[in-house]
């Protein structure tokens, strides 16, 4: 049996989706000292890179993504992602309690990788089984 990497309820990742990914990647490299690790993406027939920003060669810090392709509808802000036990169950609870589904990412079998929601006060966050 494999050991879970993150605890339920733990913030595990943050990323920024923006139409200024290239310049902001450079901004965070210069200001914070992060390094970039390109992540291959597709938008129809076009290929491009989003970026995992790294503290060093082994430790990721977060991501900077282009607002295109699968990220088109994600708001341009830093979004934190929280580890949950069951994405479907947590999404149902969120929607039943006034949350709004903003974005979803599904696996080939139709189950969720993660979702991004807006809470009743307007704050946006994501959750998944990480």
Q: What is the pLDDT of residues 110-128, one digit of tens each?
A: 999 999 999 999 999 999 9
Banded model confidence at residue 1, pLDDT cuts 50, 70, 90? very low
5 belongs to a structural domain: no
2 belongs to a structural domain: no
- Domain residues for the domain of 47 are 11-128
CATH number of the domain residue 21 falls in: 3.10.180.10
4 belongs to a structural domain: no
1 belongs to a structural domain: no
Q: Mapping DSSP to helix (H, G, I), strand (E, B) and coil, where does residue 95 land?
A: helix
The sign of the torsion formed by the CA atoms of 52, 41, 25, 12 equals: negative
What does the DSSP 8-state code read for residue 69?
Answer: G
Q: Determine the Cα angle at 61 with ends 59 and 65, to 5°.
A: 125
17 belongs to a structural domain: yes
What does pTM read for this prediction? 0.88
Q: What is the pLDDT of residues 56-112, one digit of tens each?
A: 999 999 999 999 999 999 999 999 999 999 999 999 999 999 999 999 999 999 999
15 belongs to a structural domain: yes
The answer to whether 100 touches 37, Cβ cutoff 8 Å, is no
119 belongs to a structural domain: yes
Domain count for the chain, please give it: 1
Q: What is the pLDDT of residue 5?
A: 85
121 belongs to a structural domain: yes
């Amino acid at each position: 049996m494999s050991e879970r990497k993150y605890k339920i309820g733990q913030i595990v990742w943050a990323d920024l989706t923006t139409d200024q990914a290239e310049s902001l990647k450079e901004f965070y490299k210069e200001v914070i000292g992060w390094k970039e690790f390109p992540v291959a993406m597709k938008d129809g027939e076009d290929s491009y890179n989003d970026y995992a920003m790294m503290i060093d060669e082994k430790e990721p810090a977060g991501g900077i993504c282009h607002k295109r392709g699968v990220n088109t509808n994600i708001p341009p802000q830093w979004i934190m992602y929280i580890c949950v036990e069951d994405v479907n169950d947590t999404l149902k609870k969120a929607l039943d309690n006034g949350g709004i589904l903003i974005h979803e990412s599904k696996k080939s079998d139709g189950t969720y990788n993660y979702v991004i929601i807006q809470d009743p006060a307007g704050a946006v966050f994501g959750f998944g089984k990480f």
